[in-house]
Structures are given as structure tokens and as C-alpha cells.
């Protein structure tokens, strides 16, 4: 094809052991790819099912971690005199984009470490602004404490500014790539499988495909996996007559017969609630 390797970007390395004084593994597109010796319960297997004695692990590369930390530090340093709202609005897109890119590999410990590093920089930023105030005053001014998620750097909606909080690195969920089953094809007509996997399909309504992916292809009432040909219906988790809203977070996908059962249960529960809330009739003579 006329292609040539670029000598400056090409090297021979080993992914499990040191090779010619070089550490094992290599960096590619911001990821570090290498293998680690493990025991028989964690080892990978070859195509015939035989244990290999090692496991391949992909992490964010140290170079990219350092670069991101420098970027966060630079934004905080540049906004020494800016408002908390402005600082958060500049940090959030950077943190969100970086963590999303690395959310499919082994990144949880790295995200936690970056959380701590960001907190230290923000604490220094706040201390510099109020050098004569004590630590307790500074914390109450810039952080929400005891909110169930640990300390949160937030502006608390002061003045005309809306409430805005800083995104934490570690709150981005790690979602592993799931291999496509060997017998599956995008053209096999199995709408439930591909909607569940991708959250979309040209032959399935968008909201139905989204619910299938969120529920991992299972009925929210009986817990059984949907099959092609099953009659599926959307249901309000909190019924409309109880104040439920028609939004994605209040919807679930059920089998048609499961939907009928849930509707009947909701009606019985509503009837009991009305009966209990009805005030007793006064006795005669009172």
C-alpha cells in the first residue's frame, strides 16, 4: 500500500516484562496499555480457554494525567480574583470531558487522586482570597458540607447567580465495554438486543430504546429479559393521578401483562389511601 513506519514514533517493547531496560507496556491515544502477572482466578484466557497467567489492563497514561492536572491548576491560578461561579463554570467542562474520555478503562483510583489534588488547589485559592479568616469560615463560605456526597465546592446560589457546583472526577461512572456476542449482527433484526446495547435503533422509538438500555433489556416489573416479539408498554413509575410527571426519569418499560398488573395494584393502593384519609362520620347525638 506504500505505507511506511515513522521511526520517531515506532519502538519495539514488551507488554509484560522489561525489554532492553524499558518498562513494560506502551502509550497509545492517551492510554497506557500493559499486562500484569496474576493468579489463576484473575488471569486472562486464550482462544481455546487456556489460562495465560497475566491480565491486560488499560489506564490513562501518566503523561496525560500530569497534563490534565496542570490544566486544572492553570485554570485555578488564572482565576485568582474571579468569582466562584466563574471558576466552577470554567472547570466543569474540562473535568467532564477528560473523565468521560477515560471512563471506559481502569481509572477509578486516578479519578479519586485527582479529586484530592483539585481540592487542595481550591483550598489554597479560597485561603488566598480570605487570608484573615479561619478555616471554618472559609469552608462554610465555599463548600457544602454533610450533603451525603462529601464536601462539594458550590456557590450556593448567591445573589442573581444560580446554584452551581463543581463536578468531581470520581463521580463519573466507570462503564466497561461489553463485547458483542459472536452470533449477533446489526442486520439480524433483533431489535431488543441492539436497542439495549446502544440505546438507539432506527426501527425502535428513541424513548423505548433509551429505556431498554437503562433497564439492561429487562422488564422493570417481573425482571425477565425482553424477547423480540414481546409486547412492551411504557409506564409511569409514579402514576399521573398521584402527581407523576411525563418525563424520562418517571418512565419504565414493562411487558403488557405486567403493565396491567401494576396498573391494578396502583388502583388498589390509591383506593386504600382514599379510604384511610376519609374522616370518620360523627356518631348520632354528638
Last residue of a domain, one of 171, 205, 223: 171
Q: Is residue 49 part of a domain?
A: yes
Asked if 50 and 67 sit in the same domain, the reply is no
| pLDDT single digits (tens) 82-96 | 888 999 999 999 999
Q: Beta-strand (E) ranges in the chain?
A: 26-28, 31-37, 54-60, 143-144, 152-153, 232-236, 251-255
The candidate with the shortest Cα–Cα distance to 55, out of 39, 40, 33, 35, is 35
The model's pLDDT over 229-283, given as tens digits with 9 standing for 90+, comes to 888 888 888 887 777 777 778 889 999 999 998 888 887 766 666 555 555 555 5
Percent of the chain with pLDDT over 70: 90
| Backbone dihedral angles phi then psi of residue 77, each to the nearest 5 degrees | -65, -40
Q: Residue 249: which residues within 8 A CB-CB, separation 6 or more?
A: none
The predicted model scores a pTM of 0.66
Both 144 and 124 in a single domain? Answer: yes
How confident is the model over 23-31, as a mean pLDDT?
91
pLDDT digits (tens, 9 = 90+) for 149-196: 678 888 876 666 688 889 999 989 888 877 887 787 777 777 787 787
3-state helix, strand, coil split of the chain in percent (to 5) is 40, 15, 45
- Do 67 and 167 share a domain, yes or no? yes
Regarding whether 164 and 68 lie in a shared domain, the answer is yes
Contact 107, 59 (CB under 8 A): yes
- Structural domain containing residue 17: 13-60
Judgement on whether residues 137 and 79 belong to the same structural domain of the protein = yes
The CATH code of the domain that includes 224 is 1.10.30
CA dist 172 to 14, 115, 160, 177, 178, Å?
Answer: 32, 11, 29, 15, 18
What is the mean predicted confidence (pLDDT) over 195-224? 83
118-137 pLDDT tens trace: 999 999 999 999 988 998 99
Same domain, 105 and 154: yes
Residues 6+ apart with CB under 8 A from 42: 55
Mean of pLDDT over the chain: 85
Query: Is residue 186 included in any domain, yes or no?
Result: no
Asked whether the beta carbons of 128 and 120 are under 8 A apart, the reply is no
Contact present, 212 and 254 (Cβ < 8 Å): no
- Provide the terminal-to-terminal Cα distance of the chain, rounded to the nearest Å: 101
Residue 158 corresponds to which cell in the numbers above? Answer: 448567591
Whether residues 90 and 117 fall in one domain: yes
Report DSSP letters for 228-240, one per residue. TT--EEEEESS-G
Look at the chain and report how many structural domains it folds into.
Answer: 3
Amino acid at each position: 500500500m506504500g505505507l511506511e513506519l515513522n521511526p520517531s514514533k515506532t519502538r519495539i517493547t514488551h507488554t509484560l516484562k522489561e525489554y532492553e531496560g524499558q518498562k513494560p507496556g506502551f502509550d497509545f491515544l492517551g492510554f497506557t496499555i500493559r499486562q500484569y502477572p496474576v493468579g489463576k482466578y484473575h488471569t486472562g484466557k486464550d482462544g481455546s480457554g487456556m489460562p495465560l497467567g497475566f491480565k491486560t489492563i488499560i489506564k490513562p497514561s501518566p503523561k496525560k494525567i500530569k497534563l490534565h492536572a496542570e490544566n486544572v491548576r492553570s485554570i485555578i491560578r488564572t482565576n485568582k480574583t474571579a468569582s466562584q461561579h466563574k471558576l466552577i463554570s470554567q472547570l466543569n467542562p474540562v473535568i467532564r470531558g477528560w473523565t468521560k474520555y477515560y471512563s471506559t478503562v481502569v481509572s477509578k483510583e486516578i479519578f479519586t487522586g485527582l479529586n484530592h489534588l483539585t481540592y487542595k488547589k481550591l483550598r489554597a485559592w479560597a485561603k488566598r482570597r480570605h487570608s484573615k479568616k479561619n478555616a471554618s469560615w472559609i469552608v462554610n463560605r465555599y463548600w457544602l458540607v454533610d450533603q451525603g456526597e462529601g464536601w462539594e465546592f458550590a456557590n450556593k446560589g448567591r445573589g442573581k447567580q444560580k446554584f452551581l457546583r463543581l463536578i468531581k472526577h470520581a463521580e463519573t461512572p466507570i462503564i466497561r465495554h461489553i463485547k458483542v456476542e459472536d452470533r449477533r449482527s446489526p442486520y439480524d433484526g433483533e431489535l431488543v438486543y441492539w436497542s439495549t446495547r446502544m440505546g438507539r435503533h432506527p426501527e425502535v422509538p428513541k424513548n423505548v430504546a433509551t429505556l431498554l438500555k437503562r433497564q439492561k433489556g429487562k422488564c422493570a416489573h417481573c425482571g425477565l429479559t425482553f424477547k423480540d416479539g414481546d409486547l412492551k408498554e411504557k409506564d409511569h413509575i409514579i402514576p399521573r393521578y398521584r402527581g407523576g410527571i411525563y418525563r424520562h426519569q418517571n418512565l419504565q418499560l414493562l411487558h403488557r401483562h405486567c403493565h396491567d398488573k401494576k396498573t391494578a395494584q396502583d388502583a388498589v393502593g390509591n383506593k386504600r389511601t382514599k379510604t384511610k384519609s376519609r374522616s370518620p362520620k360523627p356518631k348520632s347525638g354528638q
